[in-house]
């Protein structure tokens, strides 16, 4: 039973789009039922072999406990078969798709190492028509995290925005700038790779409304982690979260037009179009493909460990 005050609160909050109720709490083995494993070729030409769920479990490439889920690449096999497409790894996609929502990712560890190209993102149907939001992405342990939108033509971003990160290209159109999208480079070193992991990881959160898309990052030991994020409350209020790390307002990009319902995708590839092309300039040894093939133990840190994913709508 909803009191009048509570009903009014709900009405006003949904209009403001700032407080949300949890609709999904994904922890441990929930990843097996709420995500599908996609044993597909990597469209970005990575040195990777994405396996199905049975293979991932059998080879311990995914592992669920009561409070965590690990998704890793193989770190024991030397690849000497020249017909191999690459190192075994995992790509999963949420069974549900979301329009306006908040997603909070509590992450203890992200993949690191030369040649790695991990991604945590949201993807719509019929790319690029349904839109793409890259929440965590980077290669070869280089630099800080990059948050990027990729869309069909007609979605651009203003130069001046209320965000702590640094805007890169302003046109989100996949057909220009070699599909670099409209990205924002985060400021803290702890937002990505080995520095993220040394700090025990942290939280990434995304809010999508019809007036914009924003992403926040808080390191594990940061003093400004909002209480609702830190303790995984069943409601969140994004008005209390402070300036986002990256924000993409709808001023010159109609969000509901350029973004359909999006699925969450988590994948880990090696080399390929991005990690491979900047491999040497990242200070990595040998060539990317031979390094990935010959040095399984170099990929002991190539794993995601999630404490939880919470979805609020």
Ligand X SMILES: *[C@@H]1O[C@H](CO)[C@@H](O)[C@H](O)[C@H]1NC(C)=O
Q: What's the chain's Rg over C-alpha atoms?
A: 19
**Minimum Å distance from CB 245 to ligand X?**
17
- Contacts of ligand X in 100-129 (CB under 6 A): 119, 121
Burial of 268 (0-12, 13-18, 19+ CB in 10 A): buried
* 137 noted as active-site residue: yes
Q: Is 43 in the site for ligand X (CB under 6 A)?
A: yes
Spatial CA neighbour of 208 closest among 121, 128, 266, 107: 121
- Contacts of ligand X in 245-264 (CB under 6 A): 254, 256-257
d(CA 48, CA 159): 37
**Minimum Å distance from CB 204 to ligand X?**
14
The alpha carbon torsion through 7, 11, 16, 18 (nearest 10 deg) reads: 40
| 8 Å CB contact between 267 and 91 | yes
Q: Is 91 in the site for ligand X (CB under 6 A)?
A: yes
Beta carbon nearer to ligand X, 226 or 276: 276
Beta carbon nearer to ligand X, 19 or 173: 173
**Minimum Å distance from CB 50 to ligand X?**
6
* 132 noted as active-site residue: yes
Applying CB under 6 A, among 12, 60, 252, 277 the residue interacting with ligand X is: 60
d(CA 267, CA 9): 38
**Minimum Å distance from CB 259 to ligand X?**
10
Lookup: tokens for 96: 């549900």
Q: Is 269 in the site for ligand X (CB under 6 A)?
A: yes
Q: Is 137 in the site for ligand X (CB under 6 A)?
A: yes
Spatial CA neighbour of 100 closest among 185, 186, 23, 12: 23
Q: Which residues of this chain interact with ligand X, rule CB under 6 A? A: 40, 42-44, 60, 63, 70, 91, 119, 121, 134, 137, 254, 256-257, 267, 269
Catalytic residues: 132, 137
């Amino acid at each position: 039973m909803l009191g009048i005050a509570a009903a009014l609160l709900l009405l006003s909050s949904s209009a403001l789009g700032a407080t949300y109720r949890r609709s999904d709490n994904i922890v441990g083995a929930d990843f097996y039922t709420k995500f599908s494993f996609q044993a597909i070729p990597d469209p970005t030409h990575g040195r990777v072999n994405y396996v199905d769920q049975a293979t991932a479990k059998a080879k311990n490439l995914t592992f669920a406990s009561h409070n965590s889920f690990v998704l890793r690449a193989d770190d024991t096999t030397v690849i000497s078969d020249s017909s191999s497409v690459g190192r075994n790894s995992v790509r999963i996609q949420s069974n549900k798709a979301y329009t306006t929502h908040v997603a909070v990712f509590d992450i203890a560890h992200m993949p690191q190492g030369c040649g790695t190209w991990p991604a945590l993102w949201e993807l719509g149907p019929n790319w690029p028509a349904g839109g793409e939001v890259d929440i965590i992405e980077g290669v070869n342990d280089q630099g800080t995290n990059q948050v990027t939108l990729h869309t069909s033509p007609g979605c651009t971003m203003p130069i001046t925005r209320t965000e702590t990160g640094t805007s890169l290209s302003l046109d989100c159109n996949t057909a220009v700038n070699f599909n670099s999208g409209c990205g924002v480079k985060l400021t803290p070193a702890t937002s990505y790779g080995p520095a993220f992991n040394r700090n025990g990881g942290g939280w990434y959160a995304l809010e999508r409304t019809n007036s914009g898309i924003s992403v926040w990052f808080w390191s594990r030991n940061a003093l400004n982690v909002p209480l609702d994020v830190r303790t995984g409350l069943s409601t969140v209020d994004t008005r209390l979260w402070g300036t986002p790390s990256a924000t993409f307002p709808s001023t010159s990009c109609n969000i509901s037009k350029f973004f359909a319902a999006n699925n969450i995708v988590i994948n880990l590839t090696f080399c390929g179009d991005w990690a491979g092309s900047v491999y040497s300039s990242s200070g990595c040894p040998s060539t990317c493909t031979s390094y990935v093939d010959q040095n399984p133990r170099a990929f002991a840190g190539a794993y995601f460990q999630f404490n939880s994913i919470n979805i609020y709508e």
